[in-house]
C-alpha cells in the first residue's frame, strides 16, 4: 500500500525546523531514521499531513561525554552507538545497542527517534528507565529537560508537545564503581524482544549498592521500571541471594501476555533468569572498575 498524500519539508537549520513546528506542529511528523514511521505510513496507520525531515540539520549527530553525562543527539544512529568508544561510558547503553532490531534498522534508525515513537516493546525505553535518562525537548521558545519517567506517557505517547522536538537524550556515565547490562531474548534477528531486562548498578566505597536500576521490555503494557526491586537493592551488600530476591520481585511485577513468543509463566521465568544475570554482569563491571 502507498502512503496518503503529504507535504515534505527538509529544513537545513534547527531554527527553521522549530519555526515550522511553531506554525504547523499539530500536523507534522518528524522524520529522522524513519524505521518505524515509514512502514506505518505505508500501511496508513499514520497519515501525517506534513513530513518534516531533520536529516539536513547540522549539530544533531553528536555523541559526547561531558561532566559525567553521556549526550546522544537526535540524529545519532543505533550503529553509531554500537561503534562508539564514547558510548562505553554507560555500559547499559552500549550493551543494548547491538540488540536493536536488525543491521539495516541499526544503520538508519535513531535512539532519540525510538524514544519519541515509544513503541511499548522498544528496547531503548527500558535502558533509559533503568539508567534514569533525560530527554531534551526544544521549541522556538527554548528547551526543557524532562526525566524519562515523565517523558514516556503511554504506549506510542510522550510528553513532547506539537511545537517541540527531541534534540538530545542524556544519561549518566557510569563511574569506576558502576556497571550495567541489557539482556534480550528474541526469536530471530530483528524481532521484538520476547523478554528484555535492563540493569545498572553503582557501588559505594564500602561495596554496598549506592544506586540501582531495573527495567523490563515486552512483559507489561509498557516498558516497566521495577522500583520495588531497585529499592530492595540499595544500601545492601551485593550477593547471589540479594539478586535472586530482586529478580523474584521483578518477575512478580511484570504482567506478560501468553502469545506466539511463549506463555506468561515462561516469560516470567526468563525475567527472573535475566534479571539475576544482568545484575551479576553489572556487578562484575562495577567491581572491575571498567568505566
Roughly what angle, to the nearest 10 degrees, separates helices 264-288 and 240-253? 140
Domains and CATH numbers, the chain: 7-53 (3.30.43.10), 63-172 (3.30.465.10), 178-286 (3.30.390.50)
Q: For the residues 200-224, what does the mean pLDDT come to?
A: 97
Distance CA 126, CA 75 (A): 20
Q: Where do the H-state alpha helices sit in 59-218?
A: 78-83, 91-96, 103-108, 111-117, 123-130, 148-151
Helix (H) or strand (E) holding 211: strand 209-217
pLDDT over threshold 70, residue 289 = no
Which pLDDT score, from 0 to 100, does residue 189 have? 82
Distance CA 280, CA 271 (A): 14
Q: For the residues 236-242, what does the mean pLDDT come to?
A: 98
Which pLDDT score, from 0 to 100, does residue 191 have? 85
pLDDT over threshold 60, residue 287 = yes
Q: Where do the H-state alpha helices sit in the chain?
A: 14-24, 37-42, 78-83, 91-96, 103-108, 111-117, 123-130, 148-151, 227-233, 240-253, 264-288
The residues, ordered by sequence, that sit 6+ positions from 1 with a Cβ below 8 Å of its Cβ are 42, 43, 44
pLDDT in tens, 152-173: 999 999 999 999 999 999 999 9
Q: For the residues 196-219, what does the mean pLDDT come to?
A: 97
pLDDT in tens, 58-74: 999 999 999 899 999 99
Which pLDDT score, from 0 to 100, does residue 1 have? 73
CB atoms under 10 Å from CB of 62, counted, come to 14
Tell which phi-psi region holds residue 31, choosing left (phi > 0), alpha (psi between -120 and 50) or beta.
beta
Which pLDDT score, from 0 to 100, does residue 291 have? 43
Q: For the residues 216-225, what does the mean pLDDT come to?
A: 96
Distance CA 1, CA 216 (A): 34
Q: For the residues 112-140, what does the mean pLDDT come to?
A: 97
pTM given for the model: 0.95
Q: What is the DSSP string of 115-137?
A: HHHT-TT-HHHHHHHHTT-EEEE
pLDDT in tens, 106-125: 999 999 999 999 999 999 99
**Are 31 and 53 a contacting pair, CB within 8 Å?**
yes
Q: For the residues 8-12, what does the mean pLDDT come to?
A: 96
Amino acid at each position: 500500500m502507498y502512503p496518503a498524500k503529504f507535504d515534505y519539508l527538509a529544513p537545513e537549520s534547527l531554527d527553521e525546523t522549530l519555526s515550522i513546528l511553531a506554525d504547523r506542529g499539530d500536523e507534522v511528523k518528524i522524520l529522522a531514521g524513519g524505521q518505524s514511521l515509514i512502514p506505518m505510513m505505508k500501511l496508513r496507520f499514520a497519515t501525517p499531513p506534513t513530513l518534516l525531515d531533520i536529516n539536513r540539520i547540522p549539530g544533531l549527530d553528536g555523541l559526547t561525554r561531558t561532566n559525567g553525562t553521556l549526550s546522544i543527539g537526535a540524529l545519532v544512529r543505533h550503529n553509531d552507538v554500537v561503534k562508539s568508544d564514547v558510548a562505553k561510558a554507560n555500559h547499559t547503553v552500549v550493551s543494548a545497542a547491538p540488540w536493536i532490531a536488525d543491521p539495516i534498522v541499526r544503520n538508519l534508525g535513531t535512539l532519540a527517534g525510538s524514544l519519541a515513537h515509544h513503541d511499548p516493546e522498544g528496547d531503548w525505553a527500558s535502558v533509559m528507565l533503568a539508567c534514569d535518562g533525560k530527554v531534551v525537548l526544544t521549541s522556538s521558545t527554548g528547551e526543557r529537560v524532562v526525566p524519562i519517567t515523565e517523558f514516556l506517557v503511554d504506549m506510542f505517547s510522550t510528553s513532547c508537545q506539537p511545537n517541540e522536538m527531541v534534540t538530545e537524550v542524556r544519561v549518566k556515565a557510569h563511574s569506576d564503581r558502576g556497571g550495567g547490562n541489557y539482556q534480550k531474548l528474541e526469536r530471530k534477528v530483528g524481532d521484538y524482544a520476547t523478554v528484555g531486562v535492563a540493569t545498572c548498578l553503582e557501588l559505594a566505597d564500602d561495596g554496598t549498592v549506592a544506586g540501582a536500576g531495573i527495567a523490563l521490555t515486552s512483559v507489561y503494557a509498557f516498558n516497566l521500571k521495577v522500583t520495588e526491586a531497585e529499592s530492595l537493592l540499595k544500601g545492601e551488600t551485593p550477593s547471589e541471594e540479594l539478586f535472586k530476591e530482586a529478580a523474584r520481585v521483578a518477575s512478580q511485577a511484570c504482567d506478560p501476555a501468553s502469545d506466539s513468543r511463549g506463555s506468561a509463566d515462561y516469560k516470567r521465568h526468563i525475567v527472573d533468569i535475566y534479571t539475576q544475570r544482568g545484575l551479576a554482569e553489572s556487578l562484575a563491571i562495577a567491581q572491575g572498575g571498567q568505566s
